[in-house]
Structure 1
Amino acid sequence: MTSTTNSDTEAITRILFRDFAPWQTITFYIVAIAAIAVFFFGCFLLIRKYRRGAPLEATGVGARLWAMVKDVATHRPVKRRAEKTGRSHASIFYGFLLLFIGTSTITLNYDITRPLFGINFWQGDFYLWFSLVMDVAGVALIAGLIYMMYRRKIIAPKPRLDYTRPDRSPEDSDYDRSYYRWEDWAFLWLLILIGITGFVLEGARLVWLSNDPMVWDYRWWSPVGAVVAHVMQGVGMSPEVGGAMRMNSWWIHGLMALAFIGLIPYTKAKHIFTVLGSMTMRDPKPVQRLPMGDMEAEKLGYSKITDLSWKDLLNVDACTKCGKCHEACPARATGYPLSPRDVVLTLREHSHNSLEGWTVPEDEEQLAIIGEGENQVRPETLWSCRACGACTEICPVSIEHVPMIMQMRRALVEEGEMDSMIQTTLQNVQKRGNSLGETKRKRPAWTKKLDFKIKDASKEPVDVLWFVGDFASFDPRYQQVSQSFARILHECGVDFGILYEKEMTAGNDIRRVGEEGLYQHLAETNIETLEECDFKRIVTTDPHSYNTIRNEYPEFGGNYEIEHASAMINRMLSNGDIPLKKRLDYRVTFHDPCHLGRFNKGFDPPREAVQSLGAELVEMERSRDNSFCCGAGGGRIWIPDPPDQPKINENRVREAGGIEGLDVLMVSCPKCMNMLEDGRKTAGFEDQFEVKELIELVEESMDLGVDEEDADQGSDSGSGESPEATKESPAP
């Protein structure tokens, strides 16, 4: 680059409309104003649409805004599980941002400060550094766009770019959404052509003014433009031809840039702004803590597009169709009619058709979002959801799929549109306080086999109140685990107790089925029971109970210190409170339960605990926050899968079965054990490895001398009443 001083560079600048006829300048400003007007009108339509959604109070905006700024700056959400794509998007983002700032700077100087105040700063050293930064930004933009084009055309990752809908049949008019590919490509091509024509314009301008030393001598401050200029000169371009090309490319580049600005609110480009709003308004616990239902309202849930909050409508507009949620969804992966992306796009299309007009349709059928018509979400799609949160977890733009799906489920439940097995389960919970339909007297039956009495925490003080949960109380296989955990706590001298017959299901999955009223009754009843007890903290072996007590009960006034059994065991192992007598020479892999891992970040305690037993831990390909659901969540454990349908639990078991020499598939959840044990049998892995709880492995390492055959007996029968329990009338 040419060495410069303040004195010899202060006159260096660029005259934007040099050699333009007055009518050309006027025409440009008319087109620019029109483009800006079209842009703001589109923004008006979007804002009006969002205002037509249900109200939602925004709190803690400052902290949310700062979190958004950090995520946008680092591109962390975009880079997750797609590092190259994330880096390319960052290149596009920062290139575009700098070019936008540069264009705004020119406008500020040329149309505001210079004519109004006589201040001209776009010259001299500022201009030279400005030119260099703009060239670097242009290269970053184009490089990122080229990779994105390469990825879409050559790599063509499936299923992310597959726009055929799993919830539709080929004969349905809205089965194939491949037209979205045209929008994606148009977006990429328009941006890259804007960038390329900018460099062509710069190169042509340099050739045109190559005889002016105040331009040519400083050409390397625009390095890309300088290279383009030398190429043009190399093929024989004269200054006169350069001038003509400069004029043509000026208009082509300018009109494309203005067209892009005008189209932003109407195309995929609107995500430039909607993503910022979506990320700012994200709930820190979108799947852990579902929205509170107003039991005094006329109806619950989302049945019409106007039931969605303005935040939900902003969410669906923020979707970039990247397909990460589509790829992560276990239901979609095993052939169920659900794609989180398609649900979002359905709601987007519906909101566009019904809420962006001058008036909102009065016909409720036109506003209905659940049904069999176009732009409607089908009931079977909603019931396919496992509420595992994989979609919401991976979404780079903070779309909250699960809460919206659960809200639509609430509307279905209110209308009685549910599987008969769900209906039966809800009746069981309402009548008997548990999802398996057992009598209250049988809840502590598993304790009968123990050679010691567990304290009744509802009647005497304890340090640790063990909230057992339904499956840990009634499922024959997991009753063995409950007995093992009781023996571990007893052996280690932990002062603990259970609620015996007073415990009711915590209600986590009842809420995720969509029965909000019953859930609130369960939460309030359990909290009332817990408030009457004297304890220091709660422990549970059930991640579903752990999640709702930890994250949802506080909204009902139930604030407790609670930990999952795996965390308690790991802490006790670390402190030397659990006496181990033998090392376990097993090759183990761990299945992260959604409610323990993805929901509550309980990734490390189970892993650290099993390794402290001497076992070799081998990770499955999908683990930690990318763990694959066992298929039980969202109430699906109560709905039988169609006979010819691929099973989610079998999919997961096959993944574990691919690990050479695997001895144990370890779980830390009653429902996961139920599903994966069943999947191990039906998928043909009975002779290859076992499904065991962390608790069982710890007990084995403690070598308590418990005969497994004896432990099996009496697990599913007997009164199991507390030491002070009074007799009840026979169960019906």
Structure 2
Amino acid sequence: MLDSSLVTRILFQDFASWSITLFYLLGYTAIGVFIHGVYVQVRKYRRGKPFAIAGLKAGIQRMLQDLASHRTLVRRDRSAGRAHALIFFGFVLLFIGTATITLEYDILEPLFGWRFWRGDFYLWFSLVLDVAGVGLIAGLLYMMVRRGWIKPPKLDYARPDRSPEDPDYNRSDYKREDWAFLWTLIIIGITGYVLEAARLVWLGDQPEVWSVRFWSPVGAVLAHGMQGLGLDADAAAMLRSGLWWFHGLLALTFIALIPYSKVKHIFTAPTSLMLRDPLAGRRLPKVPEEQKSAGYQYITDFKWKELLHLDACTKCGRCHEACPANAVGAPLSPRDVILSLREFANHALEAKTLPAEAELDVHGKGPGQVFMETLWSCRTCLACVEICPVAVEHVPIIVQMRRKLVEDGNMEPLLEKTLQTIHKTGNSFGESKRKRASWAKDLPFTIKDARKEPVDLLWFVGDYASFDPRNQKVTRGFAKLMNQAGVDFGLLFEGELNAGNDVRRVGEEGLYEFLATANITSLSDCAFNSVVTTDPHSYNTIRNEYPDFGGEFEIQHYTTLVRELLQQGRLRLRKTLDCRVTFHDPCHLGRYNRGFDAPRDILQMLGCELVEMERNRDNSFCCGAGGGRIWIPDPPGTEKPSQNRMHEAARIEGLQVFVVSCPKDLTMYEDALKTAGYEGKFVVRELIELIEECVEYDEPAALSLQA
């Protein structure tokens, strides 16, 4: 009967003592190189600004859930996500296996005489690692096929922000690094199996080895194949000896190079996930009082967390693919912004001593610097942040750099004029504050002034809904709906200013703080229970950013309110619509604040046949107005994001209505309907207009508007 205590694997079987000493010397050298690399990276991060970690326990839990489920990786690319899961879990199990061997050989046995890597434990250990290796190799093979034959466009490192003559245009080094990473891991995996098979053939006459060979199923199959090809024990011993050194040295080289290569993401990516800000982009950071400049000019202005985010990027291209600016040919790829800054940080911050201040400036046209045109191309739609599998926060970084541009006056003249107009009049249209509620003068009922009497619901209207003639029709429609439902509501009238959401995302932090503080004061002086708004941009900043300035208000978008009024029967439908529609998710309602369901529920109540566009919900496409881009003219002859969206909608057979629920969307898409050539084929309508068409109204009372 086989003695189970003999079933094990002697790591250095038949090795001379000098060769064992040499191996350990090489191993410690590799560990030393690794530790030095880690030291260089930590020194780099320490050269960034401080960052206080908050909610660490929740961050760790979320990170572990992300890693275990791979939920951030399988989204919108299931094949790549599943292949990565095979690589990840295979690598983790193999690493644990290697660490287990080291634990016994180098710590427990020499110090305490403890031995556990034998018998049943060893057999199950061998089986698990054999299966893990198969998963690792399968995942790597798919990634090779993907890069070599499938070639998705997002893995093309061509830069939209550079020309071929620019010194940092060519990123072929990244492709070589990707292939080197894949080949190194797959060779380590394959040679591990061949090494295992050669050992089985070499020691085939020993029952404690051969009789349990199928606990290493892959190695056993290869061993039988070797025997079938005529490999005897002596030849197998020679093969095992040479391959042992090749496999071991390759593995040690891999370990040594982790901090210096793409492989570092096995540490930086989980840390980035752990430090993820759930409100990244939705809530932008205030400028610390001690900070001299409003935004980021130098790489040393970045927080250490942001420098780590740069290293966490795996170049997967998902942000590149999702970016609306990139989709229409603007000189922006969120991935390339991050990679440029990473290259810049590595060059400037990994040196023993910091270079001169001028060499730390991240703005400009030099290698690694980010162009002004690139920063102004961003719509701050949050598509990049939302899809990033490793929690890189592109938009906050871009806005921080924009703050410096605004501070220095480096912006489009029209944008600068608009910001001055907002500062002077409190709105982007340059209208008198007294005209903010002029849209209501023809209504047959009085709207309360919330500054003078208590209301249940305070309606924060917003600039476009207040001053744009086309949107004013929608605004009057919503007022009629609330009146019909018996909602006790009121306005701030001229006490309302631009909410500041887009002002802040432009980078004009001083003006934003002025607007936010003024609105918070006006709101705080009123007696109400909650706020409603028809403007998703206002909704986002009041909900997510005003609390940082002392303004804690319960707020909802109108779609949530109207759905409730319909469900309660306070709004009754006199008819339903028999039409085919598609719905565009506004960035600031959908992706920013997860307001996906209420508009769709309303459309269903109205009897509409909803056909989703390919890009919908959290993958919705931007209209192009966000981030202040509605105030910046697009270059002549270029496609606008809104036109790109119209082409997508037009592919829906029999489409009758393109439905929006944002004033800026209505403006952008009605214009795009004409310029994209679809006028007469379908129409753009605000959801409020469809609701108005269906609701049963009482006879309107002949009341005058309160002044």
What is the TM-score with the length of structure 1 in the denominator?
0.95
In the alignment, the residues of structure 1 paired with residue 560 and residue 647 of structure 2 have an alpha-carbon distance, to the nearest angstrom, of: 28
Q: Does 1:10 align with 2:5?
A: yes
Shift of 1:176: 2.2
Alignment RMSD: 1.4
Q: Secondary structure at the match of 1:666?
A: strand
The residue correspondences of 1:542-553 to structure 2 (distance < 5 A) are: 542-553=535-546
How many Å separate the matches in 2 of 1:179 and 1:672? 41
Please tell me the residue identity of whatever aligns with 2:457.
Answer: V
Out of 104, 107, 113, the position equivalent to 2:108 is 113
Q: Aligned with 1:449: secondary structure? A: coil
The one-letter code matched in structure 2 to 1:116 is L
1:476 CA displacement: 0.8
Aligned partner of residue 46 in structure 1, secondary structure: helix
Given that 1:99 and 1:134 are in contact with CA atoms closer than 8 Å, whether structure 2 keeps it comes out as yes
Partner residue in 2 for 1:331? 325
Q: State the match for 2:547 in structure 1.
A: 554
* 1-structure distance, mates of 2:292, 2:128: 58
The match for 1:645 among 614, 638, 644 is 638
Give, in whole Å, the separation in 2 of the partners of 1:105 and 1:505: 61
Q: Which residue of 1 aligns with 2:142?
A: 147
Q: Distance in 1 between matches of 2:694 and 2:350?
A: 64
Given candidates 528, 551, 571, the residue that maps to 2:564 is: 571
Amino acid at match of 2:654: G
Q: Which AA in structure 1 matches 2:122?
A: Y
Deviation at residue 295 of structure 1 after TM alignment: 4.8
What secondary structure is seen at the aligned counterpart in 1 of 2:49? coil
Is 1:390 the counterpart of 2:383 in the alignment? yes
Choose which of 513, 522, 541 in structure 2 pairs with 1:520: 513
Which of 171, 180, 184 is the aligned partner of 2:178?
184
Give the CA deviation at 1:237. 0.2
SS in structure 2 of the partner of residue 596 of structure 1: coil
Aligned letter for 1:174?
D
| Partner in structure 1 of residue 201 of structure 2 | 207
Structure 1 residues without counterparts, runs of 5 or longer: 708-719, 726-732
Distance 2:28 2:461 in 1: 67
Gaps of 5+ in 2: none
Aligned to 1:586: 579
The size of the alignment, in residue pairs, is 705
Is the Cα contact below 8 Å between 2:502 and 2:626 reproduced in 1? Answer: yes
Cα offsets for 1:461-520 (capped at 9, x unmatched): 111100000000011110000000001111111111111111101000000000001101
Decide whether the 8 Å contact of 1:500 with 1:721 is kept in 2: no
| Residue of structure 2 in register with 1:243 after alignment | 237
Q: TM-score, length-normalised on structure 2?
A: 0.98
State the partner residue of 1:680: 673
Q: Which residue of 2 aligns with 1:74?
A: 69
| 1:55 aligned onto 2:54 | no
Q: Which residue of 2 aligns with 1:277?
A: 271
1:405 to 394, 398, 404: 398
**How far is 1:178 from its partner?**
2.2
| Aligned positions of 1:468-617 closer than 5 A | 468-617=461-610
1:387-424 Cα shifts (integer Å, max 9, x gaps): 00000000000000000000000010011111111101
Change (3 A) 1:443 1:706: farther
Measure, in 1, the Cα distance between the counterparts of 2:158 and 2:232.
53
What's the CA shift for 1:638?
A: 0.5
- What is the deviation of 1:196? 0.2
Give 3-state SS (helix, strand or coil) of 1:665's partner.
Answer: strand
Separation (CA, whole Å) in 1 of partners of 2:452 and 2:212: 87
Deviations 1:493-548 (A, max 9, x none): 11111111111010000000000011011111100000110111100000000000
**3-state DSSP class of the match of 1:94?**
helix
Which residue pairs with 1:717 in the alignment?
Answer: none
CA distance, structure 1, for counterparts of residue 646 and residue 478 of structure 2: 25
Larger deviation: 520-529 or 447-456? 447-456
CA distance in 2, matches of 1:581, 1:229: 78
Q: Is the 8 A contact 1:164 1:178 kept in 2?
A: no
CA distance in structure 1 between the aligned counterparts of 2:277 and 2:479, rounded to whole angstroms? 37
1:673/1:242 CA distance change after superposition, 3 Å: same
- Aligned equivalents of 1:384, 1:705: Cα separation in 2: 48
1:450–1:483 CA contact under 8 A, matched in 2 = yes
Percent identity of the aligned residues? Answer: 60
CA contact under 8 A between 2:445 and 2:705: conserved in structure 1?
A: no
CA contact (8 A) 2:443 2:705 kept: no
- Partners in 1 of 2:699 and 2:134 — Cα distance? 69
Task: Look up the match of 2:284.
Answer: 290
Measure, in 2, the Cα distance between the counterparts of 1:176 and 1:358. Answer: 27
Q: Distance in 1 between matches of 2:290 and 2:497?
A: 24
- Alignment deviations for residues 366-398 of structure 1 (CA, whole Å, 9 cap, x no partner): 000010111100000000000000000000000
Residue from 169, 177, 180 that aligns with 2:163 = 169
User: Is the contact made by 1:500 and 1:722 (CA closer than 8 Å) also made in structure 2?
Assistant: no
503-512 or 636-645, which moves further after superposition? 636-645
Read off the aligned partner of 2:267 and give its amino acid letter.
Answer: F
Amino acid aligned to 1:497: G
Moved more, 203-212 or 573-582: 573-582
Query: Quick check: 1:445–1:721 contact (8 Å CA) kept in 2?
Result: no
